[in-house]
Amino acid sequence: MSKKQNAKTPPNKDILERINFLSEAAKASAQDSNLVNLSQHFGAEAHLIALKSKIRIRPQKIFCKNCKTALVAPLTATVTKTNNCMIYKCKLCQSQHRVYLSEKKK
């Protein structure tokens, strides 16, 4: 007998749950200044798992691209909004990440 998967459950559900758990743990540990290194470790692990399984982490502004720290707005990142983009600046490595805001298509 072969096992059939539901049409609604993705085949890599366990991997998605692990990435979600690691990103939530990275956000929680980034809120304490003593645990920033742990946040970097969790972010790097989530990034490696996503690379190995070819899954994109959405939204992309969760982690810093350079040091993989969870970007929590007042604690580990500053957020600046211009007329058409949001600029996330990491407080640890000073790298910037721009997210362009697109207008909704009708």
Residue by residue, DSSP assigns 40-96 as HHHHHHHHHHHHHHT---SSGGGB-TTT--B--TTTTEEEEE-SSEEEEEETTT--E
- Proportion of the chain above pLDDT 90, given as a percent: 34
In whole angstroms, give the CA distance from residue 22 to residue 40: 11
Nearest alpha carbon to residue 70 among 80, 57, 82, 81: 57
How far apart are alpha carbons 9 and 30 in whole angstroms? 31
Range of lowest pLDDT (30-34, 66-70, 100-104) = 100-104
Q: Would you state the pLDDT for residue 80?
A: 93
Average pLDDT (28-50) is 90
Which positions ≥6 away from 41 have C-beta within 8 Å?
A: none
